[in-house]
Amino acid sequence: MPATRFTPLLLAPLALGAAPVLADDVNLYSYRQPELIAPLVEAFTKETGIDVNVAFLDQGMVERLKAEGARSPADLVLTVDIARLSAIVEAGVTQPIESTVLREKVPEAFHDPKGHWWGLTTRARIVYASKERVADGEVTTYEDLANPKWQGRICTRSGTHPYNIALTAAYLYHHDEAETKDWLTALKSNLARKPQGNDRAQVKAIWAGECDIAIGNTYYLGEMLADPTEREWAETVRPIFPTFKDGGAHVNISGIAMTKAAPHKENALKFVEFLVSPEAQQIYASANYEYPIVPGVEPAPLVKSWGDFTPDDVNLIDLAKLRPDALRLMEEVDFDG
């Protein structure tokens, strides 16, 4: 079986006006680390005989695609969070993916109406709670995080991080600006420390006794349980899936888009359609401790053990439109200050 290539070739500076293109391969720019998608692309190669060359780009993806323009070797872009997907589309470097397969399998809330991006997996932004210091039922909604009972007991990463901006945009979708600003102000007053670190750092802070609850994405629990150095942190918390009072739990996605330059459009489409097959959905979601985007495909046993929840039914396009206002409100309350 041809091996998946995580090649530096695609990252080499363009020279002589030509992009490095291999005959029938699919070239993927990925925000996600190669080892997280290796099983997925290897399964595709085994089934189709088409190789996938993966270039890992955790920064500057939009800038790179704009600089490469029509000469870009990239066929597809895989990234996480509606903010990053929207930024790629707004940069004018994508093209619609027209596919009956995708429209039949991916729920409307999780794809661009014009087909510029398609969700592949979902993750919820939840509350991690100390098993020892927080009783069942103490937190059931995102609105509960503003309750003064939590003063000095909450940890979170920067308010301006895309994950928290998306959550705030979702809050703004369910509330007006004044209510959202009040919520952010109250949440800030309940923090045990200034926003810092990543989501794992918040769980570590609960383990260390610095706070009792924290805001984080679901998949980090799986990652920490799989890491011998972090497992102890994860074992001190339990996941709680809060909802909005008039909605469900906030979810975000990982997703994929086709570049405007796509030199291997036909094979790229085959890869994208493969990604929503039951086999690929289980491989990808399991590798990342996420939830399959296609209804009816079961998550991994560990993820399923965290319990069922009701996702918010807001279309992510609507949240993307609210991001600028969410960021403005976050800055107005000086959340990180």
Q: Is 171 annotated as a binding residue?
A: no
Distance, CA of 311 to CA of 296 (rounded, Å): 15
Query: How many separate helices (H) and strands (E) can be counted in the chain?
Result: 13, 10
* Lookup: tokens for 21: 């293109």
Amino acid symbol at 218: T
Amino acid symbol at 147: N
Q: Is 173 annotated as a binding residue?
A: no
What is the β-pairing status of strands 251-259 and 76-80? antiparallel
Q: Return the SS3 of 104.
A: helix
Count of alpha carbons within 13 angstroms of residue 152, beta-carbon side:
1
Candidates 242, 212, 128, 142; CA nearest to 183 is 142
Q: What angle do CA 259, 261, 264 make, to 5 degrees?
A: 85
Distance, CA of 293 to CA of 284 (rounded, Å): 10
Candidates 225, 209, 222, 230; CA nearest to 132 is 209
What is the β-pairing status of strands 237-240 and 76-80? unpaired
> Is the separation of the CB atoms in 289 and 302 below 8 Å?
yes
Positions at the binding site: 219-220
Positions at the binding site for Fe cation: 219-220
